[in-house]
Structure 1
Amino acid sequence: MKRRVNVIGVGMTRFAKPGASAEYYEMAREAGQIALRDAGIAYEEVQQAYVGYVYGDSTCGQRAVYELGLTGIPVVNVNNNCSTGSTALWLARQAVASGAAECVLALGFEKMERGALGSKFDDREPPLGPQVQLMNEVQGINSAPPAAQMFGGAGREYRYEHGTRKETFGKIAEKARRHASRNPYALFSQALSLDEIMASEEVFDPLTRFQCCPPTCGAGAAILCSDEFASKHGIAQPVYIAAQAMTTDFASSFSEKSMIKMVGYDMSKAAARQVYEAAGIGPEEVDVVELHDCFTANELLTYEALGLCAEGGAEAFIWDAQNTYGGKVVTNPSGGLLSKGHPLGATGLAQCTELVWQLRGCADARQVDGARIALQHNLGLGGACVVTLYRRD
């Protein structure tokens, strides 16, 4: 795959609580139309579409795309748990990079229900059966939401290994709310103090309620194209994908009986390593990151998996404010999943949208000064991790 892949159009809806959103196809239409206007092209120029969602019947992707036009193009439905949106992006990039298409749409949406995530099919083995079995062996199972038990258990394992304070996890949520207060697209934009975060009810040690991402509805979209297509349409110096990698579980995810490994640490570390090697840069050169902070525990672990700080160094990284404006690297300027929200199929494309805005220098009050290199991390248990590096020359 020799061809460079550019991101010439992005768009997203404002995220909403379950029960307060439009229909999924209406949200998808809004995000898609914004991305097309941003790119300055007509839908008729799009040659393929990859459409991600987790909860919905088969061919919801077609129902959503048909809102943009009926042109007979291939539409591929994508479902990869919480990394669904970035998986659609990964497939779209491959289509352009391989020469199979000149211009491709990646679209993601989710219309979620209230409450914790649950399985829809109870007459068969659940896909996270091995993860649940490992969790039961390592820490047991209680009545807390399963995802909170998994990521909370990973945070607790890290805390016991490194002597990390509970408040360290709370500091991540404090930073997320502060960043989200500058983001008009965020679901929760009210800043919270560390005391307020720590005083909210405990979900699963060390996580309190304000350290867990909410169920969310929304949509995001990106238009990807070749250099030739961009040049033909007079698009100069577009943001482009310098490197991208997807990984799935390794044997270590289960064999080491580690909650940290089970929730995707090695997937994230391997994907980041592949991306840095392909791009020929190191993590110290990254200016801004949107990473998968479904729970504060996962953001802490991901700092180390992405090489933003040394292993065991996350607590100092957080308290020294190296993860925010004025620090080493600004993480989740959007507010992240914790505050912006986490509509599963849209999350990866909302991350893409934020980072493209950052590299264009048009992120308004959230703008990271001089941002030229951006990193995206999107994780789904079951499992898949997609890491994407963006640049603008």
Structure 2
Amino acid sequence: MDRTFVIGVGMTKFEKPETRDWEYPDMVREAVTGALADAGVEYAQVRRAAVGYVFEQSTAGQRALYDIGLTGIPVVNLNNNCATGSTALLTARDWVRTGLADCALAVGFEKMNKGVLSPGAGGLPKVTPLDRQLGIMVEKYGWEQSPMTAQLFGNAAREHMERYGTTVEQLAAVSVKNHRHSVDNPYAQFQVEYTLEQVLGDKPIHAPLTRSQCSPTSDGAGAVVVASERFVREHGLEDRAVEIVGQALTTDTEAAFADRSAIDVVGVGMTRAAGRQALAEAGLTVEDVDVIELHDCFSVNEILTYEALGMCEEGKGGELVESGATTHGGRWVVNPSGGLISKGHPLGATGLAQAAELTWQLRGTAGARQVPGAVVGLQHNVGLGGACVVTVLRSGTLTREG
């Protein structure tokens, strides 16, 4: 199979819904135009496009790209819940490495409504892709009048605290770190630092989670141009090409439900499997990784992901963030963009925004949030119900000489 490279990335600033007067074709145009310009290629050179979103109508991908060009290329619409953007990236990569296209486009967007993640006042939904996950959660913790996803992750946090002694301060430390990182990211929805006391004292959403430990409703789009080695060399793009050296998409197994665990049902097993597979394909371990963009939809999920990726022992994720190992000057820099908590979480765009951040980091062009000497980056994007994509990227693998 062909080697595959990210040659161009683009994204909009992630915005609070109704902040900007735009529709999804507007945000897609901005992200795709940026990615094409970054790559130095024309839309006519793109042979296939994968377009991801969660809440829009069924063929929104075609409409989203009509304003870019009407070239007749195949456009595939994707929805994999919160892992949609990375699923689009994986699809584009598969097309390139199997020879179906030498240049492909991955796009993700979301225009969200203010009330899209509404409280569960109406009771437990009867029909949902998360039936099994919710059933296990309710067995242990019941059903409350808070947003459904906040209940799932908040109850995972409760179980982690009960099982391992994780503290509310350790959970809040994730948000303190990521909000601090976001100050230097012009694409972030929030660019404000929070103290530990401010995070702990913020509006309760679902105990132990407060508002600043939860990713906000957001609008935005991201885009990535993926190309083969031949395309990169033919167009002299070696200096900006970042190789995708490993990638995996996983879903739940029976193990997610076997122990009736509130932790297991929020995707820990998917993350563990996808991380192992992607790193194995890359021929690397997590110790070789310099910078990580992971799916901190809620603060607890960053802690769970540390453990699932093997960055620390199970149950030690709270201690890891508290130690400073996951910020500048530590062993890894996790979520230098500010993560979902600060950067925002327009569902279909999130994975591609993560890929954009890592591309900038591995090129050394991330400005004030740059991780010095970053060579290997890992991206983690999870959607309940269930999908998880882990992507490993590496710079410096392709030169003009060989």
Q: What TM-score, normalized by structure 2, do the two folds share? A: 0.95
1:298 corresponds to 2:301? yes
Contact 1:152 1:297 in 2 (8 A): yes
1:157 corresponds to 2:156? no
What SS is found at the alignment partner of 2:238? coil
Alpha-carbon separation, structure 1, partners of 2:76 and 2:131: 27
Residues 181-213 of structure 1: per-residue CA shift (max 9 Å, x gap) = 010110010111010010012211210111001
Alpha-carbon separation, structure 2, partners of 1:367 and 1:316: 25
Structure 2 letter corresponding to 1:263? V
1:268 corresponds to 2:310? no
What SS is found at the alignment partner of 1:62? helix
Alpha-carbon separation, structure 1, partners of 2:88 and 2:207: 34
Pairing partner for 2:330 from 324, 327, 331: 327
Pairing partner for 2:342 from 339, 342, 357: 339
Q: What TM-score, normalized by structure 1, do the two folds share? A: 0.97
What SS is found at the alignment partner of 1:108? strand
What SS is found at the alignment partner of 1:49? strand
Alpha-carbon separation, structure 2, partners of 1:64 and 1:193: 40
What SS is found at the alignment partner of 1:32? helix
Residues 208-241 of structure 1: per-residue CA shift (max 9 Å, x gap) = 1110010000000000000000111111141010
Partner residue, 1:350: 353
1:188 corresponds to 2:190? yes
Contact 1:35 1:222 in 2 (8 A): yes
Alpha-carbon separation, structure 2, partners of 1:72 and 1:148: 42
How many residue pairs get aligned? The number is 390
Partner residue, 2:385: 382
Kindly report which structure 2 residues correspond to 1:161-310, keeping only aligned pairs within 5 A, or say none.
Answer: 161-237=163-239, 238-310=241-313
Alpha-carbon separation, structure 2, partners of 1:318 and 1:127: 32
Alpha-carbon separation, structure 2, partners of 1:307 and 1:72: 44
Shift of residue 116, structure 1, vs aligned partner: 4.6
Shift of residue 117, structure 1, vs aligned partner: 2.4
What SS is found at the alignment partner of 1:259? coil
Partner residue, 2:314: 311
Alpha-carbon separation, structure 2, partners of 1:95 and 1:116: 33
Contact 2:170 2:319 in 1 (8 A): no
Residues 309-364 of structure 1: per-residue CA shift (max 9 Å, x gap) = 22222122111100100001000000000000000000000000000000000000
Partner residue, 1:64: 64
What SS is found at the alignment partner of 2:25? helix
Shift of residue 165, structure 1, vs aligned partner: 1.1
Partner residue, 2:14: 15
Contact 1:31 1:220 in 2 (8 A): yes
Shift of residue 12, structure 1, vs aligned partner: 0.2
Contact 2:180 2:193 in 1 (8 A): yes
Kindly report which structure 2 residues correspond to 1:46-85, keeping only aligned pairs within 5 A, or say none.
Answer: 46-85=46-85
Residues 31-90 of structure 1: per-residue CA shift (max 9 Å, x gap) = 000000000010000000000000111111000111110000000000010000000001
Alpha-carbon separation, structure 2, partners of 1:168 and 1:88: 33
1:6 corresponds to 2:5? yes
Q: Percent identity among equivalent residues? A: 52
Alpha-carbon separation, structure 1, partners of 2:291 and 2:154: 26
